[in-house]
């Protein structure tokens, strides 16, 4: 589609001529008036052509790239409009205070109550935070608080960006706060409930009246327990005989030590699951996994050594399934 042809204007037509042509043609092909089968299609084309030529930026793009498709692709972003919305949202966000909070592993798992010190910005008492001694009506929106943005074919109403929708503008600044609306800073202690299951590096957001507190959680690591999602892992070193005969061993868990029954004949690296002994989060209940690691003694007493030498002779003749299969595959 050539928008110049559709509107019947020349390449150097002025905006006024383009508008005039558009008005005339859209009236002519309006489906309410024109019952001709091709009228609707023509009406659409006229609107599309005007969408391009009625906008200097799009028109320039069309002149440069020559095809409608490219123009549409190239220019199909209402970034200006969105950025205005975005900025508006940002402006209305409460200022944030970032605080770091270090907690123990157990506290992170079970949840805890912590006192968090923050330095809060209070409002100027004289002007109640408005920064103004006297107001006047906002000139941009005539005191209405709303402005209209023309984004063809839409007209969008949004809060006035000058007065943030209040309709008011500062006429005389408050002298007590130099117009910034801020009072003194106040040290404050917040009692914060840390929910069970928080992880290292998480940020908790606390919304106060005027500010948002972003609480960065730092979890001190546990000496033995390691967290993977909601599951906990502990590596449990055992002796060769414990692996052979089985044993009951104390291991750490949330809330204290517990007994782990190691079954006879467990292999090194064997994984034992303790159902529901992991971390309970909002979404799931984790398990505790004990990974068994057989430790080879590094120093041997004479008695120990004598017994092991005797054992090694017996073992050469006994049946080790994996040892045998490994040799067979060689």
State in angstroms the smallest separation of the CB of 53 from Zn ion: 32
State in angstroms the smallest separation of the CB of 158 from Zn ion: 11
**Number of residues located near Zn ion, criterion CB under 5 A:** 12
Query: Whose Cβ is closer to Zn ion: residue 163's or residue 217's?
Result: 163
Q: Under 8 Å CB-to-CB from 160, ≥6 apart: which residues?
A: 138, 140, 141, 144, 145, 146, 147, 167
Which residues, 102 to 141, sit near Zn ion by CB under 5 A?
124, 126-127, 138, 140-141
CB 302 within 8 A of CB 309: no
State in angstroms the smallest separation of the CB of 79 from Zn ion: 23
Site string for Zn ion, 254-283 (x = CB under 5 A): ------------------------------
CB 267 within 8 A of CB 244: no
Tell me which stretch binds Zn ion (CB under 5 A): 3-11, 68-76, 158-166, 281-289: 158-166
Tell me which stretch binds Zn ion (CB under 5 A): 65-73, 95-103, 171-179, 261-269: 171-179
Among left, alpha and beta (phi > 0; psi -120 to 50; other), residue 14 is beta
Q: Choose, by CB under 5 A, the member of 17, 48, 176, 247 that binds Zn ion.
A: 176
- Indicate whether 88 belongs to the interface with Zn ion (CB under 5 A): no
Q: What is d(CA 192, CA 214) in angstroms, rounded to the nearest whole number?
A: 12
Q: What is d(CA 294, CA 267) in angstroms, rounded to the nearest whole number?
A: 8
**Helix 56-65, helix 68-75: angle, nearest 10:** 130
- Indicate whether 162 belongs to the interface with Zn ion (CB under 5 A): yes
Query: Whose Cβ is closer to Zn ion: residue 183's or residue 252's?
Result: 183
Q: What is d(CA 50, CA 58) in angstroms, rounded to the nearest whole number?
A: 10
- Indicate whether 71 belongs to the interface with Zn ion (CB under 5 A): no
Query: Whose Cβ is closer to Zn ion: residue 158's or residue 235's?
Result: 158
CA-to-CA separations, 187 to 103, 140, 200, in angstroms, rounded? 22, 39, 26
Q: Which residues bind Zn ion (CB under 5 A)?
A: 124, 126-127, 138, 140-141, 160, 162-163, 174, 176-177
């Amino acid at each position: 589609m050539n928008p110049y042809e559709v509107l019947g204007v020349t390449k150097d037509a002025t905006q006024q001529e383009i508008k005039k042509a558009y008005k005339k043609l859209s009236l002519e092909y309006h489906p309410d008036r024109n019952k001709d089968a091709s009228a609707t299609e023509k009406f659409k084309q006229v609107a599309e052509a005007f969408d391009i030529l009625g906008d200097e930026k799009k028109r320039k793009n069309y002149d440069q790239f020559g095809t409608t498709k490219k123009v549409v692709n190239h220019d199909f972003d209402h970034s200006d409009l969105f950025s205005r919305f975005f900025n508006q949202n940002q402006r209305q966000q409460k200022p944030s205070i970032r605080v770091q909070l270090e907690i123990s592993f157990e506290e992170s798992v079970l949840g805890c109550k912590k006192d968090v010190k923050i330095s809060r910005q209070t409002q100027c008492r004289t002007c109640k935070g408005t920064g103004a001694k006297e107001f006047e009506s906002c000139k941009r929106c005539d005191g209405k608080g709303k402005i209209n943005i023309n984004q063809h074919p839409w007209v969008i109403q949004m809060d006035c960006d000058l007065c943030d929708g209040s309709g008011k503008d500062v006429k005389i600044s408050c002298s007590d706060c130099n117009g910034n609306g801020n009072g003194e800073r106040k040290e404050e202690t917040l009692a914060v409930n840390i929910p069970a299951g928080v992880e290292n590096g998480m940020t908790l957001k606390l919304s106060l009246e005027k500010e948002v507190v972003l609480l960065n959680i730092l979890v001190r690591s546990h000496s033995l327990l390691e967290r993977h999602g909601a599951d906990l892992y502990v590596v449990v070193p055992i002796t060769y005989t414990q692996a052979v005969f089985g044993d009951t061993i104390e291991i750490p868990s949330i809330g204290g030590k517990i007994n782990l029954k190691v079954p006879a004949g467990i292999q090194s690296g064997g994984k034992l699951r303790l159902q529901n002994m992991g971390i309970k989060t909002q979404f799931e209940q984790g398990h505790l996994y004990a990974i068994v690691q057989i430790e080879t003694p590094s120093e041997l007493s004479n008695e120990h050594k004598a017994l092991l030498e005797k054992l090694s002779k017996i073992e050469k003749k006994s049946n080790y399934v994996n040892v045998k299969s490994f040799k067979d595959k060689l």
